[in-house]
Amino acid sequence: MRSRTYRQRDLACTEYTLDVPLDHSRPDGERIEVYAREVVDPAKVDADLPRLVYLQGGPGGKGHRPTSRSGWLARALRDFRVVLLDQRGTGLSTPANRQTLPRRGDASAQAEYLTHFRADSIVADAELLRRELQGDQPWSALGQSYGGFCALTYLSFAPEGLKEVYVTGGLPPLRDGADEVYALTYERTAEKNAAYFDRHPGDRDLCARIVEHLRHNEVQLPTGERLTPRRFQTAGMGLGMRGNFDGLHYLLEEAFVDGVGGPELSDTFLAGLAGAVSFATNPLYAVLHEPIYCQGVASDWSAERLYAQRPEFALGTDTPFLFTGEMIYPFVFDADPALVPLRDAADLLAAKDDWPALYDPDRLARNEVPTYAAVYYEDMYVAREHSLATANAVGRLTPWITNEHEHDGLRQAGVFGRLLDLARETP
């Protein structure tokens, strides 16, 4: 393992780069790199502090990039050395994207490679890193969103590596697959739409006007591809984040300008929208979003199939406009330049029906690792029904159920502090 230490403002940082097997069942086979950054309060560099590994949301999200002690990190640094892991394929770990994946060969080879980028492999990477840093001593884990999914995989297959676990907005269904997930998240997305248009009632007609304009005009995003009504509809992905909810309104309010030929979509709007609907910075999110729910079954493009069964989301002229949410559709692999080269591999992953298990429900029922989880009652991305069922199915798991926060509640310093308090209060 290679390392480098430096100071960054009010943080002491150490970077680690570790070679790990691509396929952990073949430790002598091909290897890739995994990167992590450990941050410590400079006043406590020499203190004997325990480590907390932060499991990032996603899939396909790189580790948190701190610029100062703020939010949840400020609270964590009072008690921990915080290890920020770039999950395999992201950040400074060996990247997996449209530029690197073609080096694997054809679509079949790319899809096979990507089967090793789910939670089970991420957990195995984390275990190798833990042993390098502290031998047999277990560490604590904090999982945000998909990071919580990884934490439950960790508890299933390597609980000996964990001292305690904290989860925010990320208790996954243990047995249900993608169809059951999207059946509920479409419901939550409709509810968030209702809340959004109640707050910004004029935006519904504005969105209908944008859709109509896109039907009759060739409009290109700054990245060169055509903007279609369905691509515009996916701009609702952030509606479940408190930090993004009103940002969509501010984007929409500058949608039109009066051009030479009449109203047209403004460059300001198109540039902002391009950032909202592109997967250039996190392509694995699109490629693996449905496979992260698969255990022994194929996703078969679940979100697209269920979309056809949800007439309230149809873009008909007589249907009030609704944004979609955290769903990935096949058409984005034909539209987004960051994804077009990965379309065939994504199709193969959607058809794969022999995915291994990500959780061990029996072992989780006997879990002895203290686990504390924030369940956001109105979460648009991780349905409360699944989270509460999992909370009841996992031993030694203490839930905190709240409607005071959205899915990005961890950004508020008090959320992690509340879970730490819950750990101290629990016998």
Catalytic residue status for 145? yes
Under 8 Å CB-to-CB from 150, ≥6 apart: which residues? 55, 87, 119, 122, 123, 126, 143
Task: Give the active site residue among 64, 116, 213, 407.
Answer: 407
Gap between the Cα atoms of 316 and 331, Å rounded? 18
Q: Concatenated DSSP letters for 196-245?
A: HHHHSTHHHHHHHHHHHHHHHS--B-TTSSBPPHHHHHGGGGGGG-HHHH
* Alpha-carbon dihedral 215, 216, 219, 224, rounded to 10 degrees: 70
Task: Give the active site residue among 145, 278, 299, 387.
Answer: 145
3-state secondary structure of 150: helix
Residue 271 identity (one-letter amino acid)? A
Residue 262 tokens, joined: 């009449």
Catalytic residue status for 354? yes
Catalytic residue status for 407? yes
Helices (H), 158-201: 178-199
Q: Concatenated DSSP letters for 113-132?
A: HHTT-SHHHHHHHHHHHHHH
Instruction: Give Cα 363 distance to the centre of its chain.
Output: 25
Contact 319, 311 (CB under 8 A): yes
Contact 168, 415 (CB under 8 A): yes
Per DSSP, 261 falls in state T
Q: What stretches of 235-384 adopt beta strand conformation (E)?
A: 256-259, 262-265, 371-376
Under 8 Å CB-to-CB from 325, ≥6 apart: which residues? 185, 186, 188, 189, 192, 236, 237, 239, 240, 380, 381
Gap between the Cα atoms of 47 and 25, Å rounded? 37
Task: Give the active site residue among 46, 48, 136, 354.
Answer: 354
Under 8 Å CB-to-CB from 8, ≥6 apart: which residues? 66, 67
Catalytic residues: 145, 354, 407
